[in-house]
Chains A and B, each alone.
Chain A
C-alpha cells in the first residue's frame, strides 16, 4: 500500500515539474526570434519524438508480456502504409484496427 502523504507529494511535485517542462520554451522564449539552425531542428520534432515513443510499443508490447506480436507489427505496418500513400488519418487508423480485429477473431 502506498502512503497517503507520499501520493499527494508526488501528485503536486509531478504537476509542477511537468508544467515547467511544458512552459520552458513557450513561456520564457515567447516571440523572441529563434536562430535558423534551431528552427531547422525543431521542424523534425514531431516526426522523431512520436515514432520513438511508439516504436518500442509496437515491437515489445507490454500487454503481450514484452514479446513481439506479429499481428501488432502487421497492424502498425498497415497503418503506416495506408497513412503514407493515402494521407488519410482515419483510413490509416481504420486499416490498423481492421488488422487487429481480424487477428483477434481468427482462431
Chain B
C-alpha cells in the first residue's frame, strides 16, 4: 500500500477542500475590509490571518479592540471563541496521534472549522485508514483553502470599501456547515446529541465569552455518549 494510498488520499482531500474556497473566501475578504475600516494596515490585517488563522476569533478581537476594551478582555474573549479547537484537537487525536510531532504541529496550526469538519467526517467513514493516509487527507483539504484565506484578507484590506450586505454572504458559513452535518446524523445518538446541543446553545446565549457554545457542546456530547452506552451504536 503506502505511497499510492497516501497520494490518492491527499487528492481526495484536495477535491473535498476546494468547494470551501467559496465559504472561506468571502470571510477573508470581509475580515480584510473590516480590519481596514478599523484602521489596520494591510500588513497588520494579513499578519492577523496568517498568525491567528481563526476567523471568528479575529472578528471578535477586532470588534473589542474597536470598542477600546482592555487588552486582556480582547484576548480572553477571542480565545474563548477558540475553545472549541480544544475539542477538535481531542477528537482528531485518536486518528492523528500516531504521526510525527512536527506533523501534529502542522495539523494544529491548520486546524480551522472547515478542515476539521471535512476531515473528521472522512475519518469516521473510514476509521481504519493509517495515520499517514489520514494526515495526507487533512493536508489535501487545507492546501487549496489557506492561500485564499491569506490572499483575500490582504485584498479586502487593500480594497477597504464596503461589501454590500444584501449579498447575504454572511449565510455561506451556516449553509455549508449544515450541509456537512446533516449526512452525519446517522444514528439516534448523533441526532439526539445535535438536538440537545442546539437547544442548549439557544438557551445559553446570555453567558458571556461564547462559553454557552462550550457548555452546549458538552451537554450534547454527554447525551450522545450516554445513548451509545445504553443502546450501542
Contacts and interface: CB of A to CB of B under 8 A. Distances in A.
Contacts of B117: 46, 50
Contact of A83 (B84, B113, B183, B197): B183
Contacts of A48: 193-194, 196-197, 216-221, 224
A21 to B, nearest CB: 5
Interface string B165-191: 110101101111111111111000110
Interface string B77-90: 01100111111111
Q: Dominant SS at the A interface? A: helix
Contact of B75 (A14, A54, A57): A14
Contact of A22 (B88, B219, B229): B88
Nearest to A93: B179
A40 B216 CA distance: 17
A18 B202 contact: no
Contacts of B82: 17-18, 21-22
A83 B181 CA distance: 8
Interface in B51-99: 51-54, 56-58, 61, 65-66, 71, 74-75, 78-79, 82-94, 96-98
B183 A88 contact: yes
A19 B94 contact: no
A106 interface: no
Nearest to B165: A63
Contact of B179 (A34, A41, A79): A79
Q: Dominant SS at the B interface? A: helix
Contact of B184 (A7, A24, A47): A47
19 contacts: A7-B65, A11-B52, A18-B57, A21-B89, A26-B104, A31-B98, A31-B131, A40-B225, A43-B224, A45-B221, A47-B194, A47-B224, A50-B177, A52-B220, A55-B202, A92-B182, A96-B171, A96-B175, A104-B166
Interface of A: 1-2, 6-15, 17-19, 21-27, 29-32, 34, 37-63, 72, 75-76, 79-84, 87-90, 92-93, 96-97, 100, 104
Given A10-B65, A41-B222, A63-B171, 16 more contacts: A8-B47, A17-B78, A18-B79, A22-B86, A24-B86, A30-B101, A31-B131, A43-B224, A45-B87, A45-B217, A47-B181, A50-B177, A52-B198, A52-B201, A90-B179, A92-B183
